Amino acid sequence: MPRKKTEPKRESEPIIQAILKGMLDKKAKDPVVLDFSNLNHAVCDAFVICHGTSRTQLEAIADAVIVEVKKESGDAPWHREGFENAEWILIDYVSVVVHIFQDSRRNFYNLEQLWGDARVKRIESP
């Protein structure tokens, strides 16, 4: 039976939760989930976005995300980039794409605004 447009793909939720755990463990700033499950022809189910305050923190967040997703789902990233400059690190799990920014880069690219049709879920830090 085909999935309804408004019904999120259930297989993405454990990956999203593992990503958020990795982010929050490393004190990521302003984590957000952009849910694309209600959009036709979306490239993935969700973007998970956050920012950090230093190159070291960005690398730590990215490493924690990769470890948590592997631990929880067994999945390794399909693609990853941005580790060289650590201004915008992208980790692609196909159904979910992780964006970890330096604060200034997040404001400049403003993905939340660019993908304004997505449902936005802001995550409260503990």
- List residues bridging with 97 in a β-sheet: 47, 92
Label residue 12 exposed, middle or buried (CB < 10 Å: 0-12, 13-18, 19+): buried
Sort strands 46-52 and 96-102 into parallel, antiparallel or unpaired. parallel
Count helices and strands in the chain by DSSP H and E runs: 4, 6
Q: Locate the domains of the chain by residue range.
A: 12-116
Span 56-110, pLDDT tens digits: 999 999 999 999 999 999 999 999 999 999 999 999 999 999 999 999 999 999 9
Mean pLDDT of 23-33: 97
DSSP assignments along 17-33, one per residue? HHHHHHHHHTT-EEEEE
pTM of the entire predicted model:
0.89
Asked whether the beta carbons of 48 and 16 are under 8 A apart, the reply is yes
CA distances from 21 to 13, 27, 40, 44, 108 (A): 12, 10, 29, 20, 26
Q: Which CATH architecture has domain 12-116?
A: 2-Layer Sandwich (3.30)
